[in-house]
């Protein structure tokens, strides 16, 4: 793909394309603006997961339906009560906008990983929290998006549960680790193959 600074220019094909390799040519990425509506000011949308049974659009109610040129969104526990806020990076209407989570306080668990056989931060690990008859699944793939990156930890919302009955970690190395009776409202560091838990912090 060519990236000319002049959106009116049209760069010619540089040579023969090998269709068997799936090669294609776009002389100018700006062509999409000529043929489609990409004003970059479409209104944002926010959806709330309703106990795994579907999604409820809360764009207007949450105030998230701004028409600024938003480029990235991060779910972060900025105020440290265990509730995830939304941080939106915008080009138009200001560089950053914080949407505070004002839902009632509930229990949570944060987990950071330290790989031994796996990579240092446990990137690619799958964590399953068994809470009563519910399974909460998280995969540790820190989000990388426009000028932003999510921290390398996972967050479990536990509602009113005071503990995780069983936490199962499937490490990138293939090793599986289980920890029982993990108390809520903590940020734990778990080392691969080590049953000892290190607590980074506890609120409430």
Domain boundaries, the chain: 47-99, 107-202
Q: Residue 184 is encoded by which pair of tokens? A: 């809520």
Query: pTM above the 0.75 mark?
Result: no
The predicted pLDDT at position 6 comes to: 54
Question: Which CATH architecture fits 107-202?
Answer: Sandwich (2.60)
Q: Is the pLDDT of residue 80 over 50?
A: yes
Question: If you average pLDDT over residues 77-82, what whole number do you get?
Answer: 82
Which whole-number Å values give the CA distances from 9 to 2, 3, 6, 29, in the listed order?
A: 10, 10, 6, 10
pLDDT: is 171 or 101 the higher one?
171
Q: Which residues contact 69 (CB under 8 A, 6 or more apart)?
A: 40, 41, 90, 91, 92, 93
- What pLDDT is attached to residue 145? 73
Q: How would you list the strands of the sheet with 186-191, edge to edge? A: 154-159, 107-114, 186-191, 197-202
| One-letter-per-residue 3-state SS of 22-72 | CCCCCCCCCHHHHHCCCCCCCCCCCEEECCCCCEEECHHHHCCCCCCCEEE
CB contact at 8 A, 128 and 167 = yes
Instruction: Enumerate the β-bridge partners of residue 144.
Output: 149
C-alpha–C-alpha distance, residues 10 and 22, integer Å? 22
Sorting pLDDT into bands at 50, 70 and 90, what band is 11? low
Residues of 37-61 as b/e, b for ≥16 C-beta within 10 angstroms?
A: eeeeeeebebeeeeeeeeeeeeeee
Closest to 11 measured CA to CA, from 19, 21, 20, 1: 1
What's the distance, CA 183 to chain centroid?
24
- The mean pLDDT of 54-75, rounded to a whole number, is 84
Task: Write down the pLDDT at residue 3.
Answer: 44
Give the pLDDT confidence score for residue 156 in this predicted structure: 95
């Amino acid at each position: 793909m060519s990236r000319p600074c002049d959106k009116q220019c049209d760069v010619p094909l540089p040579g023969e394309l090998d269709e068997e390799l799936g090669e294609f040519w776009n002389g100018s990425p700006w062509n999409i603006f000529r043929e489609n509506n990409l004003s970059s000011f479409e209104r944002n949308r926010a959806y709330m997961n309703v106990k795994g049974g579907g999604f409820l659009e809360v764009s207007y109610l949450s105030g998230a339906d701004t028409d600024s040129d938003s480029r990235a969104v991060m779910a972060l526990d900025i105020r440290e009560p265990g509730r995830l806020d939304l941080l939106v990076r915008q080009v138009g209407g200001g560089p950053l906008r914080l949407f505070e989570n004002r839902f009632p306080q509930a229990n949570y668990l944060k987990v950071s990983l330290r790989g031994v056989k796996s990579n240092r931060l446990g990137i690619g690990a799958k964590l399953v929290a068994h809470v009563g008859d519910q399974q909460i699944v998280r995969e540790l793939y820190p989000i990388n998006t426009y000028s932003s990156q999510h921290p390398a930890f996972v967050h479990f919302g536990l509602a009113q549960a005071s503990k995780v009955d069983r936490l199962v970690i499937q490490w990138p190395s293939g090793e599986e680790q289980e920890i029982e009776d993990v108390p809520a409202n903590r940020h734990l560091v778990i080392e691969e193959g080590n049953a000892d838990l290190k607590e980074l912090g506890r609120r409430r």
